């Protein structure tokens, strides 16, 4: 049976692709709501981009709830340098006609988990963790009811904003610390894994060749994202960070995982947002399922097959 999912995101081209993967996968995922958070771009743009993607996919019934417009304690830092001024540069989608849902994203997360039986709702968080942290603080009783929370963020090795930190955790380190200290059943999708899933001209051409309007739009916005990443020194091509989190929900067999302990550095001159990962001895408690390996070819086969459905 399809699992009920709330997708918390800050689109962003890779968020948009993750959202499309979810929409194209009704056997595995029943998307209850999309919640948006400030991250790659300010909240208003992220919320508009999520609605543009839903309209592009012909799925206006999925509600979009706007959440927090800034991190808990630090000022907002955005990533237009990678994603373009709109957050979804590379494609010219019409302004959304769909209104935003009236409920705040934090309340939507709480309500959705609370109104379904324990263990039946999953969260997938692919932006800064501000909304999720506030939901856990507002109603701690939802934490043990979660089936799973899949978090794209953090790194074991080098970060992508600073040597120490990955973007989502760096933008709101305090929120990440709340979530990783909550006892929730976390699956962490770190940069070390997502950097193995890269765009290249052949993969982009395969997406474009699918020929449907959604795949063509994806090829356009992914080409922009790839060019920006390459121009900024990522010669191996753009990493598809956020779709990896969705792929875990669709095909866990594509991945290898390890039990780990993860603490988040919230302060420090050099290490703000660092995920400090350790691997406990067998039998010792470990709170996080850390994804360590992915079958990148299998991932692209899955992505292509799902985009072909539009």
User: Which x/- pattern over 114-133 shows residues binding ligand BDR (rule: CB under 6 A)?
Assistant: ------------xx------
From candidates 7, 24, 79, 291, binder to ligand BDR by CB under 6 A: 79
- Kindly determine how many residues on this chain lie close enough to bind ligand BDR according to the rule CB under 6 A: 15
**Pick 14 or 148: Cβ nearer ligand BDR:** 14
- Positive or negative, the CA dihedral 177, 179, 182, 185 is negative
From candidates 7, 38, 88, 152, binder to ligand BDR by CB under 6 A: 152
From candidates 5, 7, 14, 223, binder to ligand BDR by CB under 6 A: 14
When asked if residue 8 is in the footprint of ligand BDR (CB under 6 A), the reply is: no
Cβ–Cβ < 8 Å for 177, 264: yes
From candidates 166, 172, 220, 226, binder to ligand BDR by CB under 6 A: 166
Using CB under 5 A, which residues numbered 3 to 22 contact Ca ion?
A: 10, 12, 15
When asked if residue 167 is in the footprint of ligand BDR (CB under 6 A), the reply is: yes
- Positive or negative, the CA dihedral 60, 65, 70, 71 is negative
**Pick 43 or 111: Cβ nearer ligand BDR:** 43
When asked if residue 126 is in the footprint of Ca ion (CB under 5 A), the reply is: yes
When asked if residue 37 is in the footprint of Ca ion (CB under 5 A), the reply is: no
Residues that bind Ca ion (CB under 5 A): 10, 12, 15, 126-127, 242
Catalytic site residues? Answer: 241
Residues that bind ligand BDR (CB under 6 A): 12, 14-15, 40, 79, 82, 126-127, 152, 160, 166-168, 241-242
């Amino acid at each position: 049976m399809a699992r009920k999912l709330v997708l918390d995101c800050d689109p962003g081209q890779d968020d948009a692709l993750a959202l499309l993967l979810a929409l194209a996968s009704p056997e595995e995922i029943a998307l209850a709501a999309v919640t948006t958070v400030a991250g790659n771009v300010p909240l208003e743009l992220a919320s508009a981009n999520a609605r543009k993607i839903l309209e592009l996919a012909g799925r206006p019934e999925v509600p979009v709830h706007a959440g927090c417009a800034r991190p808990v304690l630090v000022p907002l830092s955005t990533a237009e340098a990678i994603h373009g001024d709109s957050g979804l540069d590379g494609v010219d989608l019409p302004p959304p006609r769909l209104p935003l849902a009236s409920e705040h994203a934090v309340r939507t997360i709480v309500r959705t988990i609370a109104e379904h039986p324990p263990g039946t709702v999953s969260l997938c968080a692919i932006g800064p963790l501000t909304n999720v942290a506030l939901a856990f603080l507002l109603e701690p009783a939802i934490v043990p009811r979660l089936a799973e929370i899949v978090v794209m963020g953090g790194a074991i090795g080098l970060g992508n904003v600073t040597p120490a930190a990955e973007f989502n955790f760096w933008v709101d380190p305090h929120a990440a610390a709340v979530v990783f200290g909550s006892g929730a059943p976390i699956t962490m999708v770190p940069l070390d894994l997502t950097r193995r899933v890269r765009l290249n001209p052949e993969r982009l051409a395969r997406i474009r060749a699918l020929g449907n309007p959604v795949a063509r739009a994806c090829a356009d916005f992914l080409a922009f994202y790839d060019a920006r990443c390459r121009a900024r020194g990522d010669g191996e091509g753009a990493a598809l960070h956020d779709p990896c989190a969705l792929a875990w929900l669709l095909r866990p067999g594509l991945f290898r995982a390890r039990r780990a302990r993860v603490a988040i550095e919230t302060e420090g001159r050099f290490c703000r947002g660092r995920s400090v990962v350790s691997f406990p001895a067998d039998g010792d408690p470990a709170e996080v399922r850390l994804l360590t390996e992915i079958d990148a070819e299998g991932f692209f086969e899955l992505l292509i097959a799902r985009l072909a459905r539009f």
